[in-house]
Amino acid sequence: MRPFVLGNYMNAHFMSVDRLPDSGESLVAKRVFREHGGKGLNLGLGLHRLGANVDMLLAVGADDAGEAVRRALVAEGMRDELFLTLGDASGFGVGFIASDGGNFLAVHLGANALLGAQHVERAAAQLARADWLLAHFELPDTVIRHAFRLARCYGIPTYLNPSPWRAIDRELLAMTDVLVVNSQEAALLFDLPDAVRWSRAEWSARLSALAERIGWRGRVLAVTLAADGSVALDAAGRMAAALPFVIEQVDATGAGDAFGCGLVDALSRGEALSAALRFGNACGAHVAARAGIFAHLPRKAELADLLGRAKPAGPD
């Protein structure tokens, strides 16, 4: 597998708190830590650890954080030929992590906002030999749209995780083969606020009609449901679902990115959609059971133990 990832970098800072604060409230953090982050970085590194030969277009600033993440990724064995220094400041993010694993995040794009279609164009040779293109919404629309247009020309399947949420325009939706959203994003996608509380069974019953309503014509539309597993609709209108794994959740941040890596890896290996969802769930569970993301995006050997011993939770 040779994916091309539209990467992004966030110098990520996290504070552990007893609970998430209310509006205007100040809390005392029990623990503070930082790590290299960003949805695009997580996708690129996660796929690399699963064994993919990754090309990642990544913008960092001319600062210590940018140099540090470059060194860290090269030490992991990733190629840095598409790592660009743009502007003075790397992306910066802050997250609050509650005792129950709940979280919220805020990000400043920094160098990521300076990445443009011209940089994608310069990487066209690497994109042309890819077998997947992966993107997220921590980059400008112009970058994603240009890369997806090139992917269409080259016949490369595309993956999109529209997070942080913003509305997906019709052109981009039409160019997306695999769309992955969590329950909150799905509720916004379908303009159904109450859907954030739907169960796996409710999503399985309703997703096909909802996809038709927004004109979805892609290969896989997946909804991740945290402790309720995941569901997906395939191109033939068939539903698939996968149960969650029983874990003690520590930090759900990055679990969705890990799920996406597992899903794409399994699909690229020709796995059935239900099996691909289960593998994605395992990747997400592995991350959610640990503090931090960069150090814990899994390798397949680490997942073998979880897949072999852990019992999925609840009825299908």
For 151, half-sphere exposure in the C-beta direction (CA atoms, 13 angstrom radius) is 27
Bigger pLDDT: 114 vs 109: 114
Find the mean pLDDT for residues 18-35.
88
- Averaged confidence pLDDT in the chain: 93
Between CA 231 and CA 242 the distance in angstroms is 6
* Tens-place pLDDT, residues 145-195: 999 999 999 999 999 999 989 999 999 999 999 999 999 999 999 999 999
Q: Which pLDDT tens digit goes with each residue over 211-255?
A: 999 999 999 999 999 999 999 999 999 999 999 998 888 878 899
Amino acid at 158: T
DSSP state of 115: -
* CA 280 from centroid of its chain's CA atoms: 11
Cross-strand pairs, 35: 12
Query: Which alpha helices (DSSP H) does the chain contain, by range?
Result: 39-49, 64-75, 117-122, 124-128, 141-154, 170-174, 183-189, 200-213, 255-268, 273-288, 300-309
Write the DSSP symbol of residue 99: T
Exposed/middle/buried for residue 305 (C-beta within 10 Å: 0-12, 13-18, 19+): exposed
Per-residue pLDDT at 99 = 84
User: Could you tell me the pTM of the whole model?
Assistant: 0.91
Confidence category of residue 312, pLDDT binned at 50, 70, 90: low
Q: Which carries the bigger pLDDT value, residue 308 or residue 199?
A: 199
Cis omega (within 30 of 0) for bond into 140: no
What average pLDDT does this structure show over 108-116? Answer: 92
- Per-residue pLDDT, 96: 87
Q: Is the pLDDT of residue 53 over 50?
A: yes
